[in-house]
A and B are shown apart, each in its own frame.
Chain A
Amino acid sequence: SQQGEEDPQALSIQEGENATMNCSYKTSINNLQWYRQNSGRGLVHLILIRSNEREKHSGRLRVTLDTSKKSSSLLITASRAADTASYFCAGETSGSRLTFGEGTQLTVNP
């Protein structure tokens, strides 16, 4: 079963614009992770935010976590064509178990 639901399912923007993706989850988590997947490749870890954190930054990425609403958002600023990929959130529960959302397909047009 899917832990998370991601919104939107697909997002198309122009290079230089910001992209925001949202994720909601159902059960208590230890942390929330975001991954990127390029076509035909494995998932690449982007950022991890722990349940006691509210916001985290890494380069052009900004992640927020609201445990009261069981939701997270990923903001990519100043997007580039190379950011085109699918983005997944995943909640970690006990024992390192990750449950993934359905993903957001991001297209950045040059």
Chain B
Amino acid sequence: DAGVIQSPRHEVTEMGQEVTLRCKPISGHNSLFWYRQTMMRGLELLIYFNNNVPIDDSGMPEDRFSAKMPNASFSTLKIQPSEPRDSAVYFCACAWGGDQPQHFGDGTRLSIL
């Protein structure tokens, strides 16, 4: 079991550029979550999917953020255009379902200059 795989691990880009973060969840886990972690705001849930369908995107900060899950083995989080305040570590996590532990990837450290 390879665990949750996120790419890239680090991304440095200039303000205004499009950023795409990728996640491959554990096979068979039907819930997928995107989180953002900053010193100021801690760990925040951005969006989560159940069986590839977005269930709750109330944590997505604004329209510049979008997430997709085209199939059970892949999800993306896109920021367009990016801004310096988007700098954070973005985590993807998955679970078998409710009332189950979540398994996290090692995150993407994003820096917007």
Contact = CB atoms under 8 A, between A and B. Distances in A.
On whether the two chains bind one another, the answer is yes
B56 A45 contact: no
B26 interface: no
Interface string A29-53: 0110101000011111100101000
Interface in B1-24: 4
Given A42-B105, A95-B56, A50 B43 contact: no
A27 interface: no
A96 B48 contact: yes
A45 B100 CA distance: 10
Contacts of A95: 48, 50, 55-56, 98
Contacts of B105: 42
Question: Which secondary structure characterizes the binding site on chain B?
Answer: strand
Interface stretch (A16-24, A60-68, A77-85, A99-107): A99-107
Contact of A96 (B42, B43, B98): B98
Given A2-B42, A88-B43, A42 B99 contact: no
A9 B10 CA distance: 28
A45 B99 contact: no
B99 A97 contact: no
B55 A98 contact: no
Contacts of A2: 42
B104 A96 contact: no
A40 to B, nearest CB: 8
B101 A96 contact: no
A44 B93 CA distance: 10
A91 to B, nearest CB: 12
A96 B91 contact: no
A21 B101 CA distance: 20
Given A42-B107, A43-B91, A33 B101 contact: yes
Interface string B86-113: 0000010101011111111111000000
A48 B106 contact: no
A95 to B, nearest CB: 6
Interface of B: 4, 31, 33, 42-43, 45, 48, 50, 55-56, 91, 93, 95, 97-107
